[in-house]
Structures are given as C-alpha cells and as structure tokens.
Structure 1
Amino acid sequence: FPQELVDNIIDHLHGDIIMLRACALTSRHWLPTARYHIFHRISIWTDIDLARFLHLLHTAPHTAPYISILSLGECPDTWAQHLLLLQQLLPNVNELIVNNLDFFDTCDEMLDFFYNHFPWIKSLQLFGSFVGNAKDFVDLLHAKPNLESILLRTSISTNSLTPQLRSRAGVHYPNSRRSPQIFHSLSTSI
C-alpha cells in the first residue's frame, strides 16, 4: 500500500489508542503517524502523571516533537521547576490548556512559568482559572505574541451564590439535591 493511504487510515483511528499502539508495533513505516496521534495531546493532572511523563521524556526523548497540546491540572506550586523543564523539553507545544489556577494565589516561579515560558503558543485555554484584574490578563496576553485564540471558562457553584444572585442568574432548583453550575465563557480569535 502507498504510505499516504496507510497514513490516512491511521488518521481515522485517532481516538483509538489501542489500535494506534497496534499500528505502531506493526511497521516502522506506520510508527510516525501512530505516534503523532498517541502523543499529540498530553494531560497532566497529578504528581504521578507529572513524574511518569518526565520519566517518559527522559527515556524516550523522540516522543517530545509529537506533543503539540499540553493540558495541565491544578498546577500546585511544587510543580514550578518541573514545568520550566517541560518548556525546554517540548519545543512544539502550540496549545496550552490550564485548569483551576488562581494567578493571585500561586508562587512567583509558577507565575514566571505562565508569563515568560511557552511564548510561541498559538492557543491558550483557561478553565476555572482566576486572573485577578484586567492588567494582569493583558500582561498574560502580551507575553504570548503568537497567540491566535483564547478560551476562558469558569464554573461557579450556585451553592456559593446568595438567593438574590441565584434569582438574577435565573437558577431555580428548589427541590434539587444537586447544585447546578453556572458557566461563564469567552472564546475569541485574536
């Protein structure tokens, strides 16, 4: 089969990790396309995830060029030095996804990471993250000169809202046991 046809077939398997692994083991000609789909997006949520991923990068550095999307969980301050290392090891990351980070309540090293590293990213997504004021947000955008799109999304539990604010938000679940969520989002292309 022509390689273009094989690549097209493997591209259709993009969401099936088991099949992609099988393809990667089948032929060395299939390996680059399978690796692209296996490694293009990496999510790090826990200390264990971070340790495993750093170990992978040190034992198999050839996987780093395939990573284009980096998704980070709550990013405790203890991750600061490791994230600085990731920036050096992942030159092809063009999309950064950050979850639940309070830019006000974090260490200086972590702020340095977000403001001064990964300057080449084209897409930034902040989920449940808090940037204190407009100036801090503009500074963050200014630090990313290649940014083409940004997505901001926060989730506020209605348990934290007063009855008056719930009413104004149009949230009425008097008999519900679950607390509904109000989502605020902004998505734009720059």
Structure 2
Amino acid sequence: MESLHDPEAKRALRRQLRRKRSILSRHEQRQAALNLCQQLKRLPEVQRARRISLYLPVNGEIDPTPLLPWFQKRNVDVYLPVLRPLSANSLWFVAYHAHTPMVKNRFGILEPDTRFAAHRRNRLPAWALDTLIVPLVGFDAQANRMGMGGGFYDRSLAFIRRGGPAPALIGVAHACQQVDTLPVEPWDVPLTAVASDRAVVRADKKKSRP
C-alpha cells in the first residue's frame, strides 16, 4: 500500500473521501447534520464556549449551522473563517449574525465581506476564541485530521503548537469520512476531538462515545 505521506497518495485519498460525502442524498445530508449537532451539544468544549467559530458547508461537507439558533439562545458569539487579504493561506475569524454582509470568496464559499471583516471590532484573533468547529476531509480513530490541503487552519493556528492558552479544536465530518489511519505531519495542528454524525473521537483515543 502506498504511503499516505506521498503527496499523490494523499490527493487520491482526498478525492475518494470527497466523493463519498458528495454522493449522500439531500435527506442523508440533513439527517447527518442534525445528528452531528446533537453530538456537538453534548461536548463540554461547545457547552461552555462563549465565542465559537464554525463554517458554512460546501461540496458535501457536513453542516454545523443547525446549531445557530441554539447558540443564539445561549448568547454565544459566532465567528466565521475569512480568507485573510494580502496573506498567504491564512484566516481571519469574523463575527457572523443575521445582518453580516456576505460575499463569495475565490473558492466560491460565502464569507463575511472583506470590508466588514477589515474592521477590528468585527473580528477576533484565533487565540481569543473558545472553540473552533472545523471541517475536514478525513479523520481516523486518533482524531488525526486530513484537511483540503491548503493549510489555512494549520497556518492560522500554528501558535497552538508552541503551547500556552489555546482554543479547543473540534473537527467535524460524516462518519463515512473515517479511515483506518492518517499520517501526522510536523505542521499539523492537533485536534481536541472529531465529531461525526455517529460518534465523538477524542485525540487521547482512550474512548469514542457513540
């Protein structure tokens, strides 16, 4: 079997896993999203968060946005990742609410308008967030994450590898995106846990909760 440290092998696995989630029906996607959100509501890292980042799904990604009314009732401030202007593959985290002006970025993903995001009062540095809910392409039983390959989260959260206070990182995916094992690269930022529509896998891998 080809090593997943090989770039071509990783690209092939990404294609395979993206295909798996893309063939899910609209009903399956909706049910998976609701199941995921029930898993997330039980996590202490989500329950205690007052400032949380999530994402708007594209290309079959599992949808965390059914959590938005629950966050609103709990007076949780919600932020979205925004491609940072004039910076290579890194992110801002920008306030998101009903009146946030939205535009499509170069990947066709809706995000808060750059002019809105540029005002410091509308964004937070990553270290000031309590919890980030992050998309992934693949994961394993040790909560290792395979992202899209652009390194946006790894660059934006590189400070976590240096130690000190840091937000909790919760990866989310469809259960069909789990694989036996993934390689860990030196630049990978470790997740706290991965939640799918079926279970939660903790990075300490002592147990997964159905």
Superposed pair shares fold, TM > 0.5: no
TM-score with structure 2 setting the length = 0.29
Structure whose CA Rg is larger: 1
TM-score with structure 1 setting the length = 0.31
